[in-house]
Structure 1
Amino acid sequence: MNQTKQPLLIFTDMDGTLLDHNNYSWDAANGALNELAEKQFPVICNTSKTFAEVAQLHQDIGLDCPFIVENGSAIYPPAPKCSNNQESVAHSKNLHQIGSSRQTILQKLSTLRQQGFKFSGFSDWNNEQIIQHTGLNLTQAKQSAQRYYSEPLIWQDTDEQKLKFIQHLQSSGLTALQGGRFLSVQGQCNKGLALNWYKNYYENQIKQKVITVALGDSENDIAMLEAADISIWIKSNKAFPQLQKTTQVYHSSKFGPAGWQETMAHILHLYNTNQLNIQAQ
């Protein structure tokens, strides 16, 4: 029935997008996730989360695809399987690294703190403090602390100082991206660069062009949505960020996984009825 030649390749943010912002549930999106699995359209997590967090989520959700961690810093092959009572899985070799090492980031942050900039980050917190700041449980907090390419911060200074702080980072080859909860300090990478790298890699693997779909809810998703053929903003408590692209941009009317289900069901309906008027680039 489906005459569209190019398969879909889905890239999704996690917190506030596929996962509910408050309870981290994805249940409301199960219908669309199941249809994508039936069609063998990969769902690529493209998230600020760590390898350990996404590896566990892959098992919980039932995903078996490569994934992108720490705001586009690295792309990994499908997560190794682990038992339900295992707190984390062994860190495996990435397919491709774009970002800087966390050691480099923490050295720069130490210098900036000595210069008077005020912030607090994961490296300053114990597990209980991570739980307080994130709402994660203990196992999830430990997984979130296993970082290799980024340092999420809570900014504790003025907006003017924040601008100067980011300028200092950029002069050192680093950057800062504002997510739903944290200001993430990382290398010169973003979710859009990672999307483009994996898209090219995947097309070379299957010897076919794909149509990319990206879903996100925060400023750190802008680069990913700009890079995608089809861009979907999931409703949050903030106004929808603006994109430079003006075509194939959709907005959910529902929050989190309910919005994910709403918009992906619409895209899949258009795809199934040959109304998705777009060709892979």
Structure 2
Amino acid sequence: MQKILFPIIILTLLFISPVSAETLASLTSSFSEAWNGGNIPLPSQGVIVIPQGPGILTTTTIQEPFKKAGLENGPTQVQYQNSQNPGLGLEIGMFLGATFYQKSADIGSSKRLSEDIPLTRVTRYYTCLDHEKSVGVQLLPAIEKNTNHQLANKVSYSAIWEPLEGGRATEPGCDISGVWKTNKGNLTMSETGYSLRDVKIDGSYSGKLKGSIQGTMSGPVLTGSWTEQDSSGKSNSGRFTIIIRNDCCAFTGTWGVAESDTNGGEWSGVRY
């Protein structure tokens, strides 16, 4: 798998019937420099309402300028809260992957962040709710109270939700075990474990390169990690997200290196 310089940010689901993405929120806050000067700025607040049913939630956070401020990888300055109990933190969905951009270039990993320039973080989640859910969003002026400066003077946040069509792929009867012909070579997958809502998947692929995958299937979404070795014996790894078509006979998705599941390009396939 070779890395593409300009990654796909919003995944186009080729095998899913066209649907409209829904903008859930667009927030921007500017903070003063007076974190330790006695004038502690309050968080900016908003609400996103996540629709019911399966979908992909994509959030974009822009920090201008970015500073690491106490944590090596840097926090996002975004916190989710239960709207019924604001004191509780909240996960908004199954994490699919995050891609980091500085100066319009994908930097691959949060460990390579540079200070004093804007940082864009695109994060994707899979959601599948029985009913729509209101989630509080806070844009924080700082996450580490013992720091001497703001993490960013300006923070912008947006959230977009793209529904996935329901069907056989969302039911337990969709067994994806077997051989798939993909644009990256043949992929063999098998189900290795089960929980109340998820299925554990192991697999291997062959073509120009050979590798293995480990993942979790929740509804029609299979997300996980891949590992492979090139001809020199060097090991490479990354993440992937694929969406199983309703008839369980095809999938489309993306793969990426480091912490991203999109910056490598498209990954699609059909059953043999």
The TM-score normalised by the length of structure 1 is 0.24
| Rg (Cα) greater in structure | 2
Higher strand share: 2
